[in-house]
A = this chain, B = another copy of it.
Amino acid sequence: MTLYLTESNIAGLLDMRITLDVLDEAFKTQANGDALNRSRSRIPLPNGSYNLMAAGISSKKVVGQKSYTATSAGAAFHILLYDGEGKGLLAVMSAGFLGKMRTGGVSGLATKYMAKNGADSVGVIGAGNQAETQLEAVVESTGIKNVRVFSRTAEKRNGFAQRMGEKLGIDIIPVDTASAATKDTSILLVITNSAEPVLPSELLEPGVHVNAAGNNVWTGRELDTDAIVKFNSIVVDDIEQAKIESGELMRAAETGQFNWGSAIALSDIVAGKVQARTNDLDITLFESLGIAIEDIAVAERVYQMAIEQGVGHTLPA
């Protein structure tokens, strides 16, 4: 029996607390060697790209893939979740909401393990769609309620502050410069589509933890190389994938100012094998690309909840 889950089926099942718990477990599983990730592969389209990524989680007995077209006409995301012992296709999921939740969630997870002790404020650079789940995840994982948001357009940052303030039950202050968002701030979320750096190095204050989640195309970059060299540790969700997708790390590596050997896998941080910071003055970066283990782990939990709660549509055999 194969279950089909629509976007609204999944929105009714999945929240950020569950997403954070699932991701925490998934990265520990990966550190144990019980999850296997296949980097994103792309096929160019006239107005965008087709993207395909796969993972297996043996401890959950599932394997599967996410694929999507991302074009100027919009994006469409789908997950196929298979039984890991060959009993067939468990579910087909429309996975736009799920993807936003896991992308936010992984930044929340990284922040929990990487931010300094006593972190008490969040600055957001970018006020788009993905910034919402990024902030939701960090607020959920840290409990911090002191938030400022900057984007270049006043209307966008004001709308974001209003909307997300209500949603998360906190006050969010819109600010009109990047430096107003970064000043005396413990945690930064950089979530733009910018091809040009939006967080110059002089805005990186001692002790700050930065999540950069806006780009997974090598032509994009949110941080310049001067910023990259200031980080005491750089963590990525997948090192192999970062080597072909992280524009900012690839540029810094090309000029010899960053060494891939120093990149840390998020799984090693979550499993406690490696510490991201040695003191409260270290400057840390989580570079989020989005990997299939995140999708498949969350999809597996969504599938279990759908079965338990009788949600979804059974596909004809």
List the interface of chain A (C-beta within 8 A of B): 4, 6, 36, 38, 41, 43-48, 50, 52, 54-56, 58, 63-65, 67, 69-76, 78, 80, 82-89, 92, 313, 315-317
Contact = CB atoms under 8 A, between A and B. Distances in A.
Contact of A65 (B36, B52, B63, B83): B52
A43 B63 contact: yes
Given A70-B86, A92-B315, 20 more contacts: A6-B316, A6-B317, A36-B43, A36-B44, A38-B43, A41-B41, A43-B54, A44-B56, A45-B84, A48-B86, A50-B63, A50-B82, A50-B84, A65-B65, A72-B86, A73-B85, A73-B87, A74-B86, A78-B80, A80-B80
A56 B63 contact: no
A92 B76 CA distance: 13
Q: Is the interface of A mostly helix, strand, loop or mixed?
A: strand
Contacts of A47: 85-86
Contacts of A75: 86
A110 to B, nearest CB: 25
Nearest to A83: B69
Nearest to A82: B69
Contacts of A76: 82, 86, 88-89
A58 B46 contact: yes
A204 to B, nearest CB: 37
16 contacts: A4-B4, A38-B43, A43-B54, A43-B55, A43-B63, A46-B85, A47-B85, A50-B54, A50-B63, A50-B84, A52-B52, A67-B82, A69-B82, A76-B82, A76-B89, A313-B315
